[in-house]
Structure formats: structure tokens, C-alpha cells
A and B are shown apart, each in its own frame.
Chain A
Amino acid sequence: MLELRNIMHHSAPFTFRANLTIARGEKVALMGQSGAGKSTLLGLIGGFITPDQGQIIFAGQDLTEANPAARPCAILFQDSNLFPHLNLRDNLGLAVSGARKRTASLDARIARALDKVGLAGFEERRPASLSGGQQSRAGIARVLLQDRPVLLMDEPFAALDPGRRREMAALISALCAELGLTLLLATHDFNDAEGICDRVILLEAGEIQADCPIKGLRKTAPAALKPWL
């Protein structure tokens, strides 16, 4: 279970406050306008931002002061998930060793991860030679290698066309189901949220405005969420 207890983070003129509990394996969509606090929430959980007040607890362990690498979280962005000067093998290798030491077992793990996202045989390719969709899938392969129970996704589909979005959503759903990942997905698009998540949180000016299951939401959405459907 992931808990945010009385979290407060102030970065003038913006103040973020949250009390939140997310069950293991739950898939949560974070929605709201730009500047509402979606990325701040992901940053707090991921360890990129330290709260001024409150605690972040995962599986009973206080992570509030832990650095990002020590947290049980992997993160995927819209862009910049891969280092452009490294090929996919070296990019993915960083997720395991943090360095560029090559071993046969590491190569085998990388090959398996690439195979899982449909990029078998792409080890030597550099990110610039891949399409946007392939780069996103390579980012997911890296997440698989990181092998962390919480996946944070910061608007990962924003740059993809509708076909690729659906493809990626299906891939993420399948991986979450297979590995039992807890997912937090920041998005502007309710269709993305509906395709992957089972709960939606609406943020506005740094506060949680709505928090409800996604199933049946189109019929029973609270007023604050209706404009997003």
C-alpha cells in the first residue's frame, strides 16, 4: 500500500496538499489542468521533490527522505526516457547496473525485456533511429528491467497518434496485470485513463477535487469531473 499522509509542498505561488491511499496493484489516473499538481504528486512519490510536511509510506516503510533511486518507483515520461548517445542495450543496462558493464546474463535480460515490448533484435539501435512509438516501448522495457512495484507515468502518450496511444495503453495494461504493478498515470485524456486505470483522481490548484472509481463514471461522474469526460 502507498500512502501520502498530510503531504504539503509549497513552491510559490503554488501549494500542494494531499492525503491519499493507493492499494497495491491499483491503477490510478491523475487528471487536471496544467499546473494542477499532477507532476508534483508524481515528483513527491518518485522522490524528485521533498515535501515540506507529511509522510510518504510504502508497504509500511517511510520513504519521505529517501532518494529517487532508493524508492520502489520507476518513471516514464512523454519524451526523454532514453539517453540519445547510447544504444538500447546500454540504455536498458543502466536500469540494472547504473553503469555500462556488460555481462551475458544482463544481455539476456535486456533481450527478454525488448522482446516483451516487441523490439526483439533492437539492442544496437540508437533512440534517434526509432519511431516515437518504438521509443516509448523501449522506455517500458527499461521499466521492466528496473523491476519496481510502482510505475509513475507523466503524460506518456501526449506525443503519440491515436493508434499508437491505444497500442501503448494495451501494453501497459497487460504489463500491470502480469506484474501486479501499482500505476499512477498523469494524463489530460480521459480515454487513456479509462483504457488503463480503475480509479481517477482530479486535481485542481494543488488539491484533490474528486477521487472515484473509473467504472461507470460516464454515468455517475461528480460535477468537477464532468468537463473531463
Chain B
Amino acid sequence: MANRPQPLGVMVWVGMGALALVLALTLSPLMTIAAFGRDGFALRITDWAAIHFTLVQAFLSTVLSLAIAVPLARAVARRHFWGRRLFVALMGAPFILPVIVAVFGIISSFGHNGLIAQILRPFGVVMPEIYGLHGVVLAHMFFNLPLAARLILQAWQDVPQERVRLAQSLGLGHAAFFRHIEWQILRNTLPPAFAIIFLLCCSSFAVALILGGGPRATTIELAIYQAFRFDFDLGRAASLAAVQALLCLVLGGIALKWTRPRNPLGTGLDRPLALPRGGRIAAVSDGFVILVAGVFLILPLVRVLWLGLPHLIDLPSQVWVAALRSVVMALFATAICLCLSLHIALTLTRLKAAPYLEAICLLALVISPLALGTGWFLMLRQITNPIAWALPVTVLVNALMALPFVLRALLPALREAEASQARLATALGLQGWKRFRHAYLPRLIRPLGFGAGLAAALSMGDLGVIALFAAPDHATLPLEMMRLMGAYRMQEAQGAATVLLGLSLCLFWVFDRGGRIYA
């Protein structure tokens, strides 16, 4: 029998082209860095200190995030309280928050002169300075505690109800219940969560930029920035970027290996889970954990709004210009990201080698934006003035950074559409655009909306590449806000933080809501 031409065959080739482009955009800067250091990478003693600090802060941030996430996830899993759904949704919010805004909120809440310090001062309690290791760890916990809690909560909610009932029927005590049910969840969930959070903490830049610094609190990312911006020592920046890329690649490989889906306790009949709630002590401890975590997550956001709203009308014009620039860049990054991820997703659903090809897209997540930015700068300076290309490069890197998340949102929906609609579409002779329009697009609109919202919000809040080589008159809003903070124009920075927070959440909401309405 003759082989029929594959429907969407052109799209597959376009998708392969998109994959090749992602690979080129990600690897070429790394190769440039490697070529730049062909005479040997030179690291100073302070750079080794930066590597040490990066690993220490990442380890502490990860361990502390997980240590609190476990009781938090358990408390949320076994308690039903007013606002529970909102609380779980709130745990997803830090992911789309601009880092600089969140850090600003953390400083104004938990800093030396923050709200908590003001409340405790009359009682003789003085809050320590937030700058340094503990500030970096605290900020990383703000971002990663909810991520870890959501990962663990999901695993907890996947426990078959039958398993819990069996344990109850057998009369397993607290220790046996932990060993046979809860530990089985945790031993499968904690290692991948550890790897992902450790990776995120190693490659985080804006937190260290604002709360770190100095010889004792400089991360590799911050050292790259300092070598670039302050010393213009490109050799050292390339060396550090190579170390950072290598570190993240190794950690990313471990995370990928550990994140293979495993369900340690089977599937059951998909009945709603009712975990044993324990006695009065358990109820009090659960309530305490939820309350403390809730305050920890909400207070910084409330503080940003509280401090920033009164100053909105006084904002200098450059803040509004930067805001407009950021929105335009976010929209471009979103469009590029959606275009690439849609074509790549269509290709991945048709190829046996999909898992390996998907790993290419994760490269952008694994390699830090500053390492990419350094590589791009080194590449561009051979042919043109890199400063003039700062905005397009930022847009491109932001699109690449959002790509793995958008792809993760699209692939399940596309695979479901392929499984349920492909035969019908083939039977009706639908090909190309018509096939995509009728068989796939209706299933994709919702994840496309979510993915677009994610890409736009992440791009809006990015303070990575742009901080590395932006022209003074081409700042994005996060960069402008950082400059205002650096110049101690705090009231204007507070107003800018509110604008940035509002625009990021607004962009996410508009796209996500649009996807839901038209789904």
C-alpha cells in the first residue's frame, strides 16, 4: 500500500525549523563563550567565592522551602477552609510576579525597617538587616515555597482514596500512616522538587542583584553582571558564564532524570480524596502553617500596593515610557514564543523522538539568561554595536525563557486533540490549515491563552539580559525601577513597582481570560 502524505507535513517541517532555531539561539551564545575562553578560563578567588555562595544559598533556600512546603501541602490537602481554592491559586502567583516587585515587597515587609519590624519594635525586637545571605534565602523561599507546596500538594491529591481507606481499615497509627502513605509520596516528589528549586535558585539573578552583593553575598549570576557592567572584563564574564552554564546543565539533567512521572501508590478509581484530619493538635498546627504561609505570601504584595498607589500620579514620565516599552516587548516576546512553541508542539506530537527534542526546548530554561546574554553580547560585538541590539536580544531571550512553560501547557492538549480528533479529521479529508483550525485549535485556545499570559507576565517582569547591556535611554520598567531604587528615589520606585505589578497581572489575566472565553 502506498504511503499517504502526512497531513500537516509542512507544519512538521516548520516545527523542525523552529526547533533548529531554538537550538541555534541557545547554543550559539554558549559556543561563543567557549570560543572566547579557548585560551583557558580565568577565575579569581572572588569568583570561587561566588560559586560557593551560589551553591550555599541555593541549598539553604531549597531545603528551607521544602521543609515548610511539606507541612503546608499536607495542611492544605487535609483541610477544607473558606478561601481554600483562592489560597491554592495564590500559591501560583509568585511564578508570574516580577522578581523586582516581589523583592521590593519583601524588603518593605520583612526588612530592617519593614512592617514587621515596625510592629515588633515597641516590644524591643529589632529585625536584622535583610541584605545578604538570609535576605537572598528569604526571597527565594517566597518564590519557591509555593512552587514546592503545589508540587507536593498535587502528589498528595493523587493518592487513591482506596489506599487511605485501607490504611484506616488496618488501623495504621500516625507513624505507620506516614511510612506507608505519606513517605511514599514524599520520596518520589521531593527529589525532583529539590532539583528544580535548586536549579532556579542557582540561576536567579534579580534577587541576588538587589539583596546580595559584596564579597560575601555574590552569586555567579551577579558576578557575571559585575564583570560585565563594572569591570567590562569580558574574559572573566565568559568564564563565569561557562561555569554557570555547566552548573545549570548538570542540575537540569538531574532534574529531568528525576522528574519522570511516577505514581508510587497506584491510580485507584479517581474518587475524591479525604485524608484523615487528625486530632485537635493537628488542626491547630495545620491552621498555624496555613496562616503563616498565607501572611508570608500575601503581605509583600499588599505592601507593594499600599506603598505604591499614593505615588502613581507623581511618577516621572520615564517610568511611563519604560512601562510602554516593556508592554510592547512583552507582546513581541509572547508572539515569538507562541509561534515557536505551537509549531514545535505540533511536531513533537508526531515524532517518536519527541522526548529528546523536547529536551532541546528545556535548554533555554536550564541555561541562565545572563549566560545567554553574555554569549549574545560577545557574538554581536563582532559585527555591530551590541548595545543597540539590547532590546531585540531581550525580547528573544524572554521568548526562549517562556518556551518550555508554554510548551508544557500546549502539549497535553495537543496530544488529547490528536488522540480524539485526528481520525475524524483524516476521514473528512481535512489537511493543513483546515485540519488545524477544526481538529486542533478548539482544544488549544485555552492553553494558548494561559501560555500567552505566562509568557507576557514573565517577559514583563524580566530583569536579566536587559540589566546586562541596556542603553541608558532604553530601560524597561523593571530596569527603570531598579535605577530609581539605586538612586534612593523610593517613592517613585514604589509607584513604579505598583505599575509593574498591575501590568504583569493584567497581561496574564487578559490572555488567560481570553483563552477561557473563546475555548
Contacts and interface: CB of A to CB of B under 8 A. Distances in A.
Interface stretch (B30-38, B166-174, B231-239, B467-475): B166-174
A79 B169 contact: no
Interface string A48-62: 100000000000000
A95 B176 contact: no
A179 B224 CA distance: 75
Given A39-B271, A80-B163, A84-B266, A67 B170 contact: no
B267 interface: yes
Contact of A48 (B168, B180, B264, B267): B168
A69 interface: yes
B188 to A, nearest CB: 10
A46 interface: yes
Contacts of A70: 171
Contacts of B267: 79-80
A160 to B, nearest CB: 14
A96 to B, nearest CB: 9
A202 interface: no
B165 A46 contact: yes
Interface in B374-405: none
Contacts of B163: 80, 83
Contact size class for A?
A: 20 to 34
Contacts, number: 77
A73 interface: yes
B268 interface: yes
Interface string B245-273: 00000000000000000001111110100
Contact of B172 (A80, A85, A94): A94
A73 B170 CA distance: 10
A84 B171 CA distance: 18
Given A80-B160, A94-B172, A99-B176, A75 B166 contact: yes
Given A86-B180, A99-B176, A80 B169 contact: no
Contacts of A154: 162
B184 interface: yes
B166 A81 contact: yes
Contacts of B176: 94, 98-99
Contact of B168 (A39, A67, A80, A86): A67
Contacts of B172: 69, 94, 98
Interface in B253-306: 264-269, 271, 274
A46 B169 CA distance: 8
B496 to A, nearest CB: 47
Nearest to A75: B169
A95 B170 CA distance: 6
B165 A48 contact: yes
Contacts of A39: 271
DSSP majority for the B interface? loop
A90 to B, nearest CB: 10
A226 B94 CA distance: 57
A74 B162 contact: no
A130 B469 CA distance: 61
Contacts of B265: 80, 83-84
A77 interface: yes
A47 interface: yes
A78 B269 contact: yes
A68 interface: yes
Interface in A126-182: 146, 154-155
B273 to A, nearest CB: 11
Interface in B156-197: 160, 162-163, 165-166, 168-173, 176, 180, 184
A156 B269 CA distance: 11
User: Which of A77, A79, A99, A155 has the most chain B CB atoms inside 10 A of its CB?
Assistant: A77
Nearest to A158: B269
Contacts of A86: 180
A155 B267 CA distance: 15
A154 B266 CA distance: 16
A86 B166 CA distance: 14
B170 A69 contact: yes
B175 to A, nearest CB: 8
Contacts of A81: 162, 166
Nearest to B263: A84
A55 to B, nearest CB: 20
A228 to B, nearest CB: 20
Nearest to B171: A69
A217 B324 CA distance: 77
Contact of B170 (A47, A48, A85, A98): A98
Given A69-B169, A95-B170, A98-B171, A77 B268 contact: yes
Given A78-B269, A80-B162, A98-B176, A68 B264 contact: no
Given A83-B180, A85-B184, A77 B169 contact: no
21 contacts: A43-B165, A46-B169, A47-B168, A67-B168, A67-B171, A68-B171, A69-B169, A69-B171, A70-B171, A77-B166, A78-B269, A79-B160, A80-B267, A81-B166, A83-B163, A83-B180, A86-B180, A94-B176, A98-B172, A99-B176, A155-B269
Query: 10 tightest CB-CB pairs across the interface, nearest first?
Result: A69-B171, A80-B162, A77-B162, A68-B168, A80-B163, A68-B169, A80-B160, A80-B266, A48-B165, A75-B169
Given A86-B180, A154-B162, 4 more contacts: A68-B171, A69-B170, A78-B269, A83-B184
Interface of B: 160, 162-163, 165-166, 168-173, 176, 180, 184, 264-269, 271, 274
Interface of A: 39, 43, 46-48, 67-70, 73-75, 77-81, 83-86, 94-95, 98-99, 146, 154-155
